[in-house]
Every structure is written in structure tokens, then in C-alpha cells.
Amino acid sequence: MSDDAPTSPAAAAEPILIVDDEKNIRRTLRMVLESEGHVVHEAGSIAEAEAVLAREPVDLVLLDVKLGEDNGLDLLRRLKSRGEDGGRDVDIPVVMISGHATIEDAVAATRLGAFDFMEKPLDRHRVIVAARNALERRRMWREVNQLRRAVDARYELLGAAQVMADLRRQIAKVAPTRSRVLITGQSGTGKELIARAIHRNSTVASGAFVKVNCAAIPPELIESELFGHERGAFTGAIAKKRGLFEVADGGTIFLDEIGDMALSAQAKVLRVLQTGEFTRVGGEKSLRTDCRVVAATNRDLEAMVQAGEFREDLFFRLNVVPIRSPDLGERVEDIPLLVESFVRECCDENGFAYKPVDEVVFERLKTYDWPGNVRELRNVVERLVIMSDDIIRERDLPPYLGGPRPPGQGTRTSGPVTAIDLGRYANKTLREFREEVESEFIRIKLAEYEWNISRTAQALGIERTNLHKKLRALGIHRGQTDPGNE
Ligand SMILES: Nc1ncnc2c1ncn2[C@@H]1O[C@H](COP(=O)(O)OP(=O)(O)OP(=O)(O)O)[C@@H](O)[C@H]1O
Ligand SMILES: [Mg+2]
């Protein structure tokens, strides 16, 4: 039995510490583990073990329970409470060894976080397999942590502007509480990132972050999605299914686009927010869920409440702590920093060397209006990274962002010429005439600059705020004459 131990694929050299007060046992273990290609350290007491751990990197500890005067469980406890890796949860797996193991020892060791428990006399095969499993677990822990860090980086809220500092302060204050948070703000401003930051810094950070896109789930399915269903609850319910509120138990449920949730579903959500209880579709039992609730919307919920489109009671339940996600236009100074970070990310993903960005490009990007906020900026940057050569230059920008216009299209100085048919205005007042012609002219310019308000205003020789006012006064909206490219 002992010699057909599975051959390990390149498990070599992971250092292992053996802690046992019996020299013979240490020697036997050393031989077995060295034959597997490991570097082995020995210790006869807890003090010696601590000295080795302080000096050497160790990937696995084999630890005897009875160490003369010492109790191996004390070292186990210390190792498990210490953690490494900046307090993250990659710690050193410990396999306990005992001569006359009692069930109590085994239970205590497991409770303290021992990976495995072996009895003496030790079997060679058993030792090899236990070590291999523990080391593999450690490799997986490491990988999970690496991935988690990469994911965290992907969801990092970037920005150095004052509004972002204020935002971070609010997140830091509210995250460790159990308060419900309602995040509002325009599309693409980072509401989801805020929700994730709250989760990461909350007391339920080790639980799941469950995102529910309330706008994407059809009203007839939302109840089953949120609360689950029993088998046979409706046609198609072939198996019992857990709902998202159940999955989020012990974590955070993120109700995204809550303003788009049907009124019928709102009533159901209200109940779970009031009582923490819900029932699966087709079920009788009331189930409990304990999850942090964070909601987001780009709609004006208060106005919706006024209009009877959103339940007032639900609004008050959700809006305990409101957080507003600022538009990109409120923090244009962050554009260079965001662009550089997106360039870096996109270059990495595509295996390109980092492409520096010409200063002029930042200036151009800062004058654009960004109706799609950071999401739009990110898409633009992705395109720029793909289409540019080694450096991202002004000429890589599309015309509406200040790049060169293809020949044959209107230029800034000579827009499309339209003759005014004065006859059309024969019966109008001077004011009507002025407004209509003005409105027509502004529309032409807006189309020319693809609705970039700053650049249109510049071309017209007026202030941006002034142009906004004129658009309102003249009743000009995007989408009326030009579908735009949001
Ligand atoms: N402060 C920021 N730092 C880095 N990336 C950001 C930031 N804000 C937004 N983004 C990026 O912009 C995109 C949109 O962000 P997110 O999905 O959080 O926006 P949203 O407000 O939820 O939009 P919507 O209302 O359309 O759902 C994502 O790719 C996100 O990574
Ligand atoms: Mg979103």
C-alpha cells in the first residue's frame, strides 16, 4: 500500500516544517518528504518552531499534539490567528499528528483550523497524500487571493477630485454599519463600484456580493428570481430554486436599477425589507435572510414617488443613507488619471506595451460633455488603445472629440450652408423669425459637433451654460433631430 503513492506533478521544493519532540519521528518524516522533493525543517518544541518560522518561508507544518511540556494546539492556535499576507486569509496549512489521539483532540484541532489529522504510527502513503493535499490547498488559497486582488483592482473607484474624496469618506462611514444605502447618479458614473466598495468594507465582506439587475428581469420572473421557488410552483419550475435574497444571506444584496422595478415586485421587496422574511414562490414556509441591502438607480425616485410610480414606503426603507455618485463633468480633473489607468488595463489585456497619451488628448477629452460618464470614457479609451500606434495622439481621436475630420465633411469654419427662405417668415413677428432661425442654426452646429456641447458653444462663440439655457428655451433636445450616440 505504501509504495504506490501517487506521483506528484512538480510539487517540488515547497518547504515543510516538522514539529515533533521525538527525533525518530522527525527523521522518518524527513526522509519521506525529502523523497518527494521537499525542503524540510525540524523543530522539537514550540519555541524552536517559532524560531524556524521567523527565519524561513514555510508552506506546511506537520505538528505533533504532545510536544513534551508543550501542547501543539497552542502553536496551531497562534498560527491560525496570525495569518500572513497582510492579514488576508492565506495562512500556512497545519496537519496535526498524534500518538494516542482522542476524539477531543481531533475535534479541537479541526475547530482551530487544522487541515488534517494523522495518527501514529504514521503510514508513508498517508503522509504523502496529506502533505500533497495541504500544499495544493495552499496553492489554491494563494491563487484565489491573487484573483480576488485582481478583481478588487478592476472594481477600484478611481479619482482624486474633491468630490471623490468626499464620496470615499461617505463610503468609509457607512460601510461598517448595517444601514441601507441608496446610491443615485447618472448612468456610467460608478454606482456599482460604490456598492462593491461598501461591501468590501462592511462586516459582511466575506459573504457574497449578489447583484440583481431589477431592470433586466421580466416582472413575471422577478419574484422567483428574488425569493426562489418550490418544485412545481409553476410550469417550468422543475426543481426547487434558491432566490437571490437567500443566496445573499450573510452578504450583500445589490438591487441595481431599483427605479425600474415593477410596482408588484416592489410590494414583495418591501416585505423582506420590513421583516427579513420571505416565502419561496409556491412555498408555505417563511424563510429568513440576513443581508445588507444596497440599492442604486439613475432615476429620480422622489419624483417617481410623486408620480405614483414608486412606492413611498419602499423608498423610505431603501433611502436610509443616500449617496450621490458625481457625474464625470463634475470632476474633469480626474480625466487624465482615469484615462491612464484604462490605457494601462487595456494594454495589459491585449499584451501591448503601455501607450503614453499626448497631453493634447487630455485637453480634448476634458472639453467633451461625457453624457455616458466614466463608462463612455472607458469605451473611448479602449478604442484609442486599439487604433493608435505606440503613442495616443490627437489625430487618433474621432472628430466629435476634436480629432481630424475626414475630407468632404463640414469643417469647423465652413458648416453646411442652408439658404434662408425669407418668404416662409412673411407672417411672423421679428421675435418668431429670430427664434426659428436661431434654433435652426444651433441644430446645424450641434449636428456638426455631434452634440458636444462645449465645442458647439465654442463654435457659436457663447458660454456652455448659455448654450444649455438656449437649448432649454428653444426646446431643443438631443434625439429630436439627431439620435446621437449615447
Ligand atoms: N471612479 C471610477 N473609477 C474607475 N472606473 C470607473 C469609475 N466610475 C466608473 N467606472 C467604470 O465605468 C463603468 C461604469 O461603472 P458602473 O457600472 O459602476 O456605473 P453605473 O453608475 O452603475 O452605471 P449604470 O447606471 O449605467 O448602471 C465601469 O466599467 C466602471 O469600471
Ligand atoms: Mg450600474
Per-residue pLDDT of 390-440, as tens digits, reads 999 999 998 888 888 766 554 444 444 555 667 777 788 888 888 888 888
- Closest C-alpha residue for ligand 1 atom 15: 190
Residue type at position 430: L
**Set of cell numbers at residue 468:** 444649455
Report CA Rg, the chain.
32
Whether the pLDDT of residue 4 is over 50: the answer is no
- Closest C-alpha residue for ligand 1 atom 31: 155
Q: How far, in Å, from the CA of 223 to the mean position of ligand 2?
A: 21
- Closest C-alpha residue for ligand 1 atom 26: 187
164-168 own/partner pairs: CB under 8 Å, 24+ apart: 164/326, 164/331, 164/334, 167/194, 167/323, 167/325, 167/326
- Closest C-alpha residue for ligand 1 atom 13: 375
Cβ(418)–Cβ(440) under 8 Å?
yes
Residues with CB under 6 A from ligand 1: 157-159, 185, 187-193, 298, 325, 374-375, 378
Cβ(122)–Cβ(25) under 8 Å?
yes
Whether the pLDDT of residue 9 is over 60: the answer is no
Whether the pLDDT of residue 466 is over 80: the answer is yes
pLDDT, position 483: 42
Triad 129, 48, 125: Cα angle to 5°? 15
Lowest mean pLDDT among 79-88, 122-131, 271-280, 473-482: 79-88
Three-state secondary-structure class, residue 470: helix
Q: 292 - beta bridge partners? A: 252
pLDDT, position 194: 97
Neighbours of 384 (CB within 10 A): 24
Cβ(15)–Cβ(57) under 8 Å?
yes
- Closest C-alpha residue for ligand 1 atom 18: 190
Q: How far, in Å, from the CA of 190 to the mean position of ligand 2?
A: 7
Q: How far, in Å, from the CA of 89 to the mean position of ligand 2?
A: 30
For the CA of 297, the nearest atom of ligand 1: 25
**Set of cell numbers at residue 397:** 481621436
For the CA of 377, the nearest atom of ligand 1: 12
**Set of cell numbers at residue 399:** 472628430
What CA–CA distance (Å, rounded) separates 103 from 100? Answer: 10
pLDDT, position 366: 94
Query: Is the pTM of the predicted complex or chain greater than 0.75?
Result: no
Three-state secondary-structure class, residue 123: coil
Query: Per-residue confidence at 5, pLDDT binned at 50, 70, 90?
Result: very low
**Set of cell numbers at residue 26:** 522527525
What CA–CA distance (Å, rounded) separates 250 from 334? Answer: 35
pLDDT, position 195: 97
Cα dihedral 64, 67, 73, 75 sign: negative
What CA–CA distance (Å, rounded) separates 414 from 447? Answer: 13
Which ligand gives the minimal distance to the CA of 377? 1
Mean pLDDT of all residues in 352-357: 96
Ligand 1 site-directed mutation target among 155, 158, 193, 328, most atoms within 8 Å of CB: 193
What CA–CA distance (Å, rounded) separates 191 from 297? Answer: 8
Ligand 1 site-directed mutation target among 189, 212, 301, 380, most atoms within 8 Å of CB: 189
- Of residues 336, 392, 329, 395, the one with CA closest to residue 363: 336
Which ligand gives the minimal distance to the CA of 340? 1
For the CA of 325, the nearest atom of ligand 1: 21
Question: To which H or E segment does residue 141 belong?
Answer: helix 124-154
What CA–CA distance (Å, rounded) separates 139 from 14? Answer: 10
Triad 161, 164, 169: Cα angle to 5°? 130
Which ligand gives the minimal distance to the CA of 190? 1
Burial class (CB in 10 A: 0-12, 13-18, 19+), 126: middle
What CA–CA distance (Å, rounded) separates 61 from 26? Answer: 12
In the chain the first and final C-alpha atoms are separated, in Å, by 68
Ligand 1 site-directed mutation target among 375, 378, 382, most atoms within 8 Å of CB: 375
Whether the pLDDT of residue 153 is over 60: the answer is yes
Cβ(226)–Cβ(265) under 8 Å?
yes
pLDDT, position 480: 55
Whether the pLDDT of residue 87 is over 50: the answer is no
Q: How far, in Å, from the CA of 455 to the mean position of ligand 1?
A: 25
Q: How far, in Å, from the CA of 372 to the mean position of ligand 1?
A: 10
Cβ(214)–Cβ(258) under 8 Å?
yes
Q: Which residues surround ligand 2, an ion (CB under 5 A)?
A: 192
pLDDT, position 404: 82
Q: Mean pLDDT of all residues in the chain?
A: 87
Q: Which residue shows C-alpha cell 415593477?
A: 262
Q: How far, in Å, from the CA of 216 to the mean position of ligand 1?
A: 18
Query: Per-residue confidence at 91, pLDDT binned at 50, 70, 90?
Result: confident
Longest dimension (CA), the chain: 113
